[in-house]
Structure 1
Amino acid sequence: MSAVPDTIIETEGLRREFTVGRRRARRRVVAVSDVDLRIAPGEAVGFLGPNGAGKSTTIKMLIGILVPTAGRLQVCGLDPTRQRRELARRLGVVFGQRSQLWWDLPLRDSFELLGAIHRVSEPEQRTRLERCTEVLGLDGFLDVPVRQLSLGQRMRGEVTAALLHGPQLLVLDEPTVGLDLVSKERLRAFLQEVNIVDGVTILLTTHDLPDVERLCRRVVVIDQGRVVADDAIDALRARSGGAREVVVELTAPAAPLEGLPGVREVRVEADGLRQRLAFTPGDTTAAALISAVAARAELRDVTVVEPSIEDLVRRLYAQD
C-alpha cells in the first residue's frame, strides 16, 4: 500500500455549479457551495443530509467523477481529477445504486477480476477474501451469479470488492440497505474493525442513524450545498434538540409515566396503553429507561425510535 498522507480528504472553498434548461431559459444552479472539509487518516466520518443536499455531488468530486467549478481538493494526497487512476488504487467505493460487480458472473469471479485490475498479489487477495467471507458470511453464495443475489447479499459482496485492494479511504453509500438486523450488526462490527484495526478511513453516507452511531465519531451535515454542522454526533443532537423516544405498550392502561430520570416529555396514546417517552442520550439510556418503566408498569412491547437524519438536519438548518 502507498504511504498514508497527513490528510486523507482536504477541501477548501469547494464549489460545483450546473447549467440547466435550454437556450434562453438556461440558468446556473449551485449544487455545492464553499465546502471546507478536512479528514485525517483513520477517522470515521458520517456525511449526512437530506436528499438533494449535495452529498452525492460532493462525493463525485472527491472520487474524481466530477470536476469542481471552483475551490481546492485533495484526496489521499492526490488531485482526484488529474490523478484519478492513481487515486482508484487507494480508494474503495460502495454505491447503493451502482455496482462494481459483473452482473452475469459468479461473485467469486468478480473478486478475481477486481484483484487483477488492481494488481493485488494472490496471497494478499486470498487473505482479504477469506477474512471477508468468514465475517460477512459469503460462503453460501460465492459461486452464485451476481444477478441472482438478494440486495443484502450483493451489498456484502460490494463491501468485500471495495476492500480487496487494501484502500486507504472507504466511501460507503447506504451500506446496510436490504440487510436484516443480524446482518446489519455483523457488517457494522466488520467495518468498525476495518477502521480501528486496519486504519482505513471511512466516509459514510446513510439515512440509518444507528450506522452512524456505531461507526462514526464525527458527523458532517450538509444542506442546500453548504456544511451546516461538523461535530460529534452527541453534540449534533444537543445542538439540534433532537431526542430519542422509547415507545412502551402496556398490558393495562396507566397514568402518564412522568418523573422518570432523563425523560423530557411523555405523550399518552390509546387511553394510556401506549406511551411515548422522549429522552436525550446524554441524560439517560434506552436500557435504563425501559428498566424504570418496568418497575412501574407491566410491559407488553417496547420500541426505541431514533430521530431521523432529515429531522436533525431540518432543525440545524432552521437555526442557521
Structure 2
Amino acid sequence: MIEVTGAAKAFAVRRRTGRLRRSRTVVHAVRDLGFTVPRGAFVGLLGPNGAGKSTTIKMLTGILAPSAGTVRVCGLDPSRQRTALARRIGVVFGQRTTLWWDLPLRDSLDLARRLYRVEGRAHRARLAELTDLLELAPFLDTPVRQLSLGQRMRGDLAAALLHAPELLILDEPTIGLDVVSRATVRGFLERLNTERGTTVLLTTHDLGDIERLCPRVLIIDHGRLAFDGDLDRLRAEVGGERLLVVELARPGPPLRLPGVAVDRVEGPRQWLRLPEGESAAAVIARLAAGHEVRDIALRETGIDEVVARLYRGDRAYRAQ
C-alpha cells in the first residue's frame, strides 16, 4: 500500500541578516526515509514536534514532492498522480475540517460525495452505514459550526470514507476529544480496519491511541526512521527499570536486596526499582524467603516513558 525508499525533503529558508541582506539556509525535514506498509495494516506514526511527521504525511498525500528518493502510495506517484490518488485514499487532519462551516452536516457530506463522484445509490448505502457506526443521526441536520469537537471529528471521518478509500491517513484524529468521543473514534477505526480491511496510517501524540490500535509503530526523529516494530520490541530495545510494589505484613525499614533499589516506602508498602535484566521472579523468591509478604504487583515501564527515552536518545537505535 505504501512504499517509501530513500525519501528526503529539504526546504530553503531565507532569513534577514541585515538591512538589505538575507541569508539562505537549507533545512532537511526528512532524510533517507524508507519503510513499507502492506495492505490491511494499522500503523502508528510517532515522533516529537519537528521530527518530520507532517512532511512525511504531505509527501504521501501528494501535497509535497520529495527532493530525493521515491514515494509510492496505492501504486501511484502521489505528487504526479494526485487526483487519481485522491479517489483511493481518505485523509483527516484533526486540527482542520473538510466540512462546510455554515451547512448542515448532511449537506456537507452530500457535497463531499459529489467531489468524489460517488453514485447516488452507493452514497446512500455508505452514508447509512457510517451514520450507524459513527452515531451521526442525532446531528446530521445540525450546521457544522454548532457541532462539538467530537461530533465534527466524526463528521470528518465520514466525509473521508464516503468513497470507500483503500487507505485512511489520520493526523491527530483524537486531539482535544473528551473520553467518550475518543472511545467512539477508536472503536470505529478498529472495526474499519478489522472488518473492512482498510489500511490505516495514524499520526498521533496520544499514546493511548497507539496502545489500543496499532500493532506496528514507526518512529521518526530528526527526519530519519528511528524505530520500526511493535510496542513489545520497542520496550525490549529501549529497556528500562521496572517497579515491584511490595506490601509487607507490617511496616519496616527499606528492604535490602542485592542490585535492587528502594524507590520509596509508605508504611508496609515499598516500591522496589528493578534494574534492566533483573528477573522479577528471582527477586520475589528472595523476598518471600526472608519476609512476610501480603501482596506483590509488578509495574512495567509505560509506553509514554519508553517513547520519551527514545526521543531523548538515551541509547543508540536503528530501524530493523
Shorter-chain TM-score bucket reads: 0.7 to 0.9
- Give the corresponding residue for 2:172: 174
Aligned-residue offset at 1:125: 1.9
Report whether the alignment pairs 1:307 with 2:300: no
Quick one: distance in 1 between partners of 2:53 and 2:308?
17
Deviations 1:116-172 (A, max 9, x none): 111112222222222222222222211111111111111111111111110011001
Quick one: distance in 2 between partners of 1:275 and 1:147?
53
Alignment partner of 1:135 out of 133, 150, 161: 133
Aligned-residue offset at 1:310: 4.9
Distance 1:141-1:274 versus aligned 2 partners, 3 A rule = farther
SS at match of 2:196: coil
- Give the corresponding residue for 2:264: 268
Greater C-alpha Rg: 2
- Map 1:52-67 to 2 at 5 A: 52-67=50-65
Quick one: distance in 1 between partners of 2:57 and 2:172?
13
- Map 1:47-196 to 2 at 5 A: 47-196=45-194
Aligned-residue offset at 1:193: 1.4
Report whether the alignment pairs 1:15 with 2:8: yes
Quick one: distance in 2 between partners of 1:45 and 1:266?
38
Report whether the alignment pairs 1:38 with 2:36: yes
SS at match of 1:25: strand
Alignment partner of 2:316 out of 305, 315, 319: 319
Letter in 2 for 1:149: L
Deviations 1:194-251 (A, max 9, x none): 1122111110011111211222111110000000111112111211126788999x9x
- Give the corresponding residue for 2:286: none
Compute the TM-score of the two structures, normalised by the length of structure 2.
0.79
SS at match of 1:307: helix
Letter in 1 for 2:26: R
Quick one: distance in 2 between partners of 1:144 and 1:96?
20
Identity %: 53
> 2:171–2:202: 8 Å Cα contact kept in structure 1?
yes
Distance 1:317-1:77 versus aligned 2 partners, 3 A rule = farther
Aligned-residue offset at 1:181: 2.4
Give 5+ residue unaligned stretches, structure 1.
1-7, 285-294, 298-303
Compute the TM-score of the two structures, normalised by the length of structure 1.
0.79
Distance 1:243-1:234 versus aligned 2 partners, 3 A rule = farther
Distance 1:237-1:151 versus aligned 2 partners, 3 A rule = same
